[in-house]
Amino acid sequence: MTTLTVERPPVPRRTNGSLPPVPPHRGGGDGPDRDPAPHRPPLDNVRLAMLFLICSEVMFFGGLVSAFLVLRVTAAVWPPPLQPRLPVGVTAVNTLVLLGSSVAMAAALQALRRGDARALVRRLGLAAGLGSVFLLVQGYEWARLVRFGLTLSSDAYGTTFYTLIGAHAVHVLGALVWVAVVALLAARGRFTDGRTGALRACAIYWHFVVALWPALFLAVYLV
């Protein structure tokens, strides 16, 4: 057995926490001499992880929506006669607002690809702004519904409405915080050095949260 003399291993830039000093993530190959055809994953780690996160979230909302559908199908009359109707019109417009934010996010990524840092920040801001408008309108509508007597505990109608829409709102809020953080980082010049993971993950998540809404809108307001 020959003892190879090994060079000092790559010295980690930072040995803890957020920046793992891990050599290439692509299958861990250590260079073309050892692995001439390194295993190149079709999706990089960030995309893959977001994909699975979305699967997980879909199951979460799947649980909520199927529970809602069960209650709804077994109820004698739906919606219950004395309860206020849901504001379909306003919400439809609001849906467009949210979809618009997704467009803004896509445009932000475009700016990133072009390397246009200022457009990136602007468009992230726009996405966040549209998202906030959506949330504010939702909140306003909620307040009105509550005033008309539809509450969480009024019956299955109120229960399902507030839980489902509320769960989505919490997700939007979380995503919004994320977008805001990312926008701040972008404003401070991050993401131009090629380390775009956090931004891309954020964008994927934002698109997911937006795409979820029409489905909920359909299930809760329209059907």
Partner 1 sequence: MSATSVTAHAHVDHAAHHDLGFVRTYIFSTDHKMIARQFLFLGLSMMIVGGLLALVVRWQLAWPETAVPGLSNILKETDGILEPSTYNMAFTMHATIMIFFVIMPILAGAFGNFCIPLMIGARDMAFPFLNMLSFWVTGSAGVIMLSGFFVEGGHAAAGWTSYAPLSAVPSYTGVNWGQNIWCISLFIMGVGSMMGSINYITTIINMRAPGMRLFRMPLVVWSLFITAILLLLALPVLTSGVAMLLFDRTLGTNWFRPSGGGEPLLWQHLFWYFGHPEVYILILPAMGIASEILPVFCRKPIFGYHAMAFSMIAIAFLSWVVYGHHMFVSGMSPALGMAFTVTTMIIAVPSAIKTFNWLGTMWGARMQFTVPMLNALAFVSMFVIGGLSGIFMASTPVDIYIQDTYFIVAHIHYVVFGGSIFGAFAAIYYWFPKMFGRLTSPFLGHVHFWGTFVFFNLTFFPMHIIGVGGQMRRIYNPMQYEFLQHQQPWNVLITASALCLGLVQIPFVLNFFASLFGWRAGWFRVLAHAVGALVAGATILVFFSSLGYGKVLFGIVGLVVAVVVFAVSRRDTAGCGEKAPLNPWNSNTLEWTAPSPPPHLNWGATIPTVYRGPYEYSSPESKEDFLPQNVPPVGAAGARRH
Positions touching partner 1 (CB under 8 A) are 1-12, 15-18, 20-23, 25-30, 34-36, 38-39, 41, 43-45, 48-49, 52-53, 55-57, 59-64, 67, 70-71, 74-75, 80, 152-153, 155-160, 162-163, 167
Nearest CB to partner 1, comparing residues 132 and 163? 163
70 vs 96, beta carbon nearer partner 1: 70
Answer for the pair 211, 145: CB distance below 8 angstroms, yes or no. Answer: no
Distance, CA of 209 to chain centre = 4
Least CB distance from residue 127 to partner 1, whole Å?
24
Spatial contact of 131 and 168, defined as CB atoms under 8 Å apart: no
Q: Which is nearer to partner 1, 41 or 115 (CB)?
A: 41
| Cβ within 8 Å of residue 43, ≥6 positions away | 51
Q: Min. distance of Cβ 163 from partner 1 in angstroms? A: 6
Q: How far is the CB of 71 from partner 1 (least distance, A)?
A: 6
Quick one: 55 or 96, whose CB is closer to partner 1?
Answer: 55
Nearer to partner 1, 79 or 129 (CB): 79
Q: Least Å distance between CB 145 and partner 1? A: 15
Q: How far is the CB of 185 from partner 1 (least distance, A)?
A: 16
Burial class (CB in 10 A: 0-12, 13-18, 19+), 90: middle
C-alpha to C-alpha distances, 49 to 43, 53, 60, 61, nearest whole angstrom = 9, 6, 17, 18
CA–CA distance, 60 with 101 (Å, rounded to integer):
23
Contacts of 149 (CB under 8 A, 6+ apart): 83, 84
